[in-house]
Amino acid sequence: MDDSGKLCSNVIHMSSDSPTYSPLYRQIKTLLVQALEAGEWRPGELIPSEMELATRFNVSQGTVRKAIDELAAGNLLLRRQGKGTFVASHNDPRAFFRFLRLVPLSGDIEPSRSVPLECWRAKAGTEAARVLDLKVGDPIVIVRRVLEFAGKPVVADEIYLPGDVFAGLTLELMKESQESLYTLFEARFGVRMIRAVERLRAVAADRSSTELLHVAEGSPLLSVERLSYTYGDKPVEWRRGLYLTQDHCYLNELG
């Protein structure tokens, strides 16, 4: 029992009838999430082995294992046999299509390209404040960009971000980086998107989208409103995308 630095093991072996009972492995899970949140290990990095964590938290390896199992199931961690357990990253190709469900109607994978158009600062209105859990008037960043597939514009996005977290975000930064937006966010701002909720509707194309997507006014477009969360279920991105579903569709697996 050393508690040598870092997060010490405030783990409790409780027995029954406590109103706040939580199994050991869940406490370990919480401690691990806190460590991730605190940046003890960055995305892509290797975390300590199960045995090391077991001694650190003063539990058996099996208990650590169960905690890691759940985190891996939630895509927070990534296990690789023989190598170790890593912090999940949007850089990983396996994680890329988790948040972009658009696929060509017929045919194979197409190269995609993000084209940033604008990036400016503003103050949060009532709606932005509500969904991003800010106060009205708090600084926000607004980004507009287009996503191209095979050279053709398919998605027009408008993205709202909390200004304090993304203080240094500029149009140039997005233009320079060839990676996905989420990769940029996690590499430059330490913000990793964990999960998101999307609301889909069919809408008619308005003026601005007709120009960006080269379609007639009134054409049906798929409106995708997304709220993304980072560690601790904190909302950190609100975006609205208009998807042209002439040659693509939104693919969804119901499990």
- The binding site for DNA (CB under 7 A) comprises 13-17, 21, 23-26, 47, 49-52, 59-63, 65-66, 79-85
Shortest spacing between CB 198 and a copy of itself, in angstroms = 4
Stretch that binds a copy of itself, among 9-17, 117-125, 142-150, 243-251 (CB under 8 A): 243-251
Non-local CB neighbours of 99 within 8 Å, separated by 6+ positions = 182, 193, 196, 228
Cβ-based nearer residue to a copy of itself, 97 or 120:
97
Per the structure block, which two tokens stand in for 174?
């997005």
Member of 13, 202, 207, 233 binding a copy of itself (CB under 8 A):
202
* Structure tokens, 255: 């499990």
Count CB neighbours of 60 within 10 A: 14
Q: Which helix (H) or strand (E) holds 154?
A: strand 152-162
Residue number with CB closer to DNA (80 or 135): 80
CA pair distance 98, 226, nearest whole angstrom: 13
41/250 with CB nearer a copy of itself: 250
Nearest distance from residue 115's CB to a copy of itself, in Å? Answer: 22
When binding is defined by CB under 8 A, the residue of 179, 200, 210, 235 that contacts a copy of itself is 200
**Which one of 5-13, 37-45, 152-160, 199-207 is the stretch in contact with a copy of itself (CB under 8 A)?**
199-207
Residue burial 71-81, b: 16+ Cβ < 10 Å; e: rest: beeeebbbeee
Give 52 or 172: the residue with its C-beta nearer to DNA.
Answer: 52
Q: Which partner, a copy of itself, DNA, none, binds residue 233 by CB below 5 to 8 Å per kind? A: none
Q: How far is the CB of 64 from DNA (least distance, A)?
A: 8
Q: Tell me the Ramachandran region of residue 44: left when phi exceeds 0, alpha when psi lies from -120 to 50, beta otherwise.
A: left
Q: How far is the CB of 60 from DNA (least distance, A)?
A: 3
Q: Choose between 14 and 251: whose C-beta lies nearer to a copy of itself.
A: 251
Evaluate whether 231 touches 33 at the Cβ level (below 8 Å). yes
Task: Report the C-alpha gap between 90 and 185 in whole angstroms.
Answer: 9
At 10, give phi and psi (nearest 5°). Answer: -85, 30
68-87: contacts with a copy of itself (CB under 8 A): 73-75
- Structure token digits, residue 61: 């390896």
